[in-house]
Amino acid sequence: MLSTSVGLSPSLLTGLALLMVVTLVALVAWALQLMEAANERREFGLMLAGCMVCSAAVGLAAVMVLTLTGPGRLQARGLPPLSAPETGVSLDAIVLPWDNPAVASPARP
């Protein structure tokens, strides 16, 4: 999906993924460095800065996983689409009381 909509080659996407991983490792290292400095200097502001950088790294990791491992990414590599299993319970046959007003409030004399 990403390579077909943007027009990027798979090797360029692999390079982009590696760049994102390097950025992620650098963010985590920076966050740890800030937290160590906060512990040495007893400064709460540095600890907050370290937590903010760490949360940015977590957000980048989430975006990276969602972007690079989605089903569209598999189709872009030429793999067949994932099919849903045919077994299971369908919730289409369940009628909830608020879906059908005649069932929810029966006629009263």
Tokens standing for residue 48: 């907050």
| CA 66 to centroid of chain Cα atoms | 4
pLDDT at 2: 47
Phi, psi dihedral angles at 16 (to 5 degrees): -65, -40
pLDDT at 66: 81
List, as one string, the DSSP characters of 68-98: HSSHHHHHHTTPPPPPPPS-S--STT---TT
pTM of this prediction exceeds 0.85: no
pLDDT at 55: 92
Segments in the chain below pLDDT 70? 1-8, 70-93, 95, 97, 99-109
